[in-house]
Amino acid sequence: MTNETWTVKDILAWTSGRFVQLDLPTPLLDAQLLLSSVVGLSKVQLYMHHDRVLSGDERTRMRDLVRRRISGEPVAYLLGRKDWHELDLLVDARVLIPRPETETLLDFVLDVFRSAGREPARLLDLCTGSGCLAVGLGRRFPRATVVAVDVSAEALAVARENAKRNGAHNVSFLLADVREDGLFTRLLHEAGGAFDVVVANPPYVSESEWTHLDVGVRDFEPRLALVAENEGFALANLLAREVVREGVLSPESVFAMEVGLSHCDLLAGPEAPGHLETFPYNTQSWKFPRARSFALQDLTGRDRFWCRVSGLAFEGVAQESEAQGPDAQAAVDAANVERLERLRLEAEARALAAHSKDDGREPEGHFENV
């Protein structure tokens, strides 16, 4: 152990530079998050206390986190948590890390019911994983009954903890395989009626795609939550068929499912053979078709969600939106500003890390050996 001192500024410069060399996607942000967790300072405070010297114990803990990140382990697992759509989520190797794209699915459901001027009574989250969708819906609709289903007991343990830590006390959990015969009949009986909302984020990666995934996903995140049979299409196809069948969805309902990039058209069915009508993520709710499926794009413009809206009326909203013109569209876009800003900041962080040398030198020695 050397007597060399390392300040916050030194370690941020060395770590972000090392991550740039390894071509990690968000090098500066990763370095900030890891160091913040070690020294107990926010990202802003790191720069306010840039000359703070780390103790030997802090250097040891930071060195361990850096080595694990270099091995490919995701930052969310290293921190044991993930900020997602106003939620503070526990995440570890038992669950897939919630993606920013999935926030669009939650926003879609919230926007539809907000525009319709009503709240759903019964909601179902299939393949819940960390519980991000169930917990987000439970918090936003506290008087509703939310049921979250997963085949993994370990994942459900994480989801239960996330419901507790985020105050979603109206969410219940069921250990079950969505391929189980009679599951939906059982769910309808236990819920006391059809569901006003069904959301799903099933595994949709094919075996061949899985072998080419980034090491941080392939080697660390649960394969069970990622890979499905039939080129990744099996579970999405099953759920589209079973959920849409008569009785599962209430007359005024929303069904939204995250799927693989090539799956929306495969799920089109006889109502739109070969191709689904596609809508941008910020489309006003009253413009969506009724009682037939359509594709909803994510923030990057890819067909990411297979959706269906039935029975909900938006006539007043449509008239008001047409009268307001651009102001109505601005209100819809405002819900996505935070996520768009996050994407911009991540891109900015990559650029800063690639060009940042602070005072033009790297700390002498190698942090990995300190």
User: Is it the case that residue 363 has pLDDT exceeding 70?
Assistant: no
The CATH number, out of the four listed (3.30.1340.30, 3.40.50.150, 3.40.50.620, 3.40.50.300), of the domain defined by the range 95-323: 3.40.50.150
Tell me the two tokens of residue 108.
Answer: 């879609």
Predicted local confidence at residue 267, as pLDDT = 78
More confident residue, 272 or 295: 295
Q: Residues 295-344: pLDDT tens digits?
A: 999 988 999 999 999 988 875 544 444 445 555 445 445 544 554 455 44
pLDDT band of 218, cuts 50, 70, 90? very high
pLDDT band (50, 70, 90) for residue 87:
very high
Average pLDDT (357-361) is 36
CA–CA gap between residue 69 and residue 277 (Å, rounded): 41
- Position 266 scores a pLDDT of 78
Q: How confident is the model at residue 273 (pLDDT cuts 50, 70, 90)?
A: low
pLDDT on residue 264: 82
Task: Give the pLDDT score at 361.
Answer: 36
Q: What is the mean pLDDT of the chain?
A: 85
What is the Cα–Cα distance from 27 to 16, expressed in whole angstroms?
Answer: 5
Question: Per the structure block, which two tokens stand in for 334?
Answer: 């405002």
User: Among 244-253, 255-264, 325-334, which is the least confidently predicted range?
Assistant: 325-334
- For every residue of 248-261, DSSP letters joined together read TEEEEEEEEEE--T
Long-range contact pairs involving 32-38 (C-beta distance under 8 Å, separation at least 24): 32/349, 33/75, 33/79, 34/62, 34/65, 34/66, 34/69, 34/75, 34/78, 34/79, 35/8, 35/11, 35/62, 37/65, 37/78, 37/79, 38/62, 38/65
CA 132/CA 127 separation, integer angstroms: 11
User: How confident is the model at residue 271, as a pLDDT?
Assistant: 54
What kind and span of H or E run contains 16?
A: helix 8-21
Cβ proximity of 149 and 123 under 8 Å? no
Q: Domain map of the chain by residue range?
A: 8-71+341-369, 95-323
In this predicted structure, the answer to whether residue 53 has a pLDDT above a threshold of 60 is yes
Q: What is the mean pLDDT of residues 223-230?
A: 91
Comparing 147-151, 173-177, 291-295, the range with the smallest average pLDDT is 291-295
Length of the chain, in residues: 370
List all residues 6 or more positions away from 134 whose beta carbon is below 8 Å from its beta carbon.
123, 125, 128, 146, 147, 148, 159, 163, 168, 171
Pairwise pLDDT comparison (357 vs 253), residue with the higher score:
253
pLDDT of res. 291? 84
β partners of residue 53: 7
**pLDDT given for residue 314 in this prediction:** 76
- % pLDDT > 90, the chain: 69
pLDDT of residue 346: 45
Residue 361's contacts (CB-CB under 8 Å, 6 or more residues apart) are: none
Helix, strand or coil for residue 157?
A: helix
Strand 293-297 and strand 81-84: the pairing is unpaired
pLDDT > 70: percent of the chain:
82
Place 113 in a pLDDT band, splitting at 50, 70 and 90.
very high
Q: What is the pLDDT of residue 334?
A: 53
In this model, does residue 366 exceed pLDDT 60? no
SS3 112: helix
- pLDDT, position 1: 35
Q: What are the strands, taking DSSP E only, across 210-347?
A: 249-258, 278-279, 293-297, 303-310
Spatial separation of the C-alpha atoms in residues 365 and 41, rounded to whole Å: 25
| Res 202: pLDDT | 95
Note the pLDDT of residue 350: 40
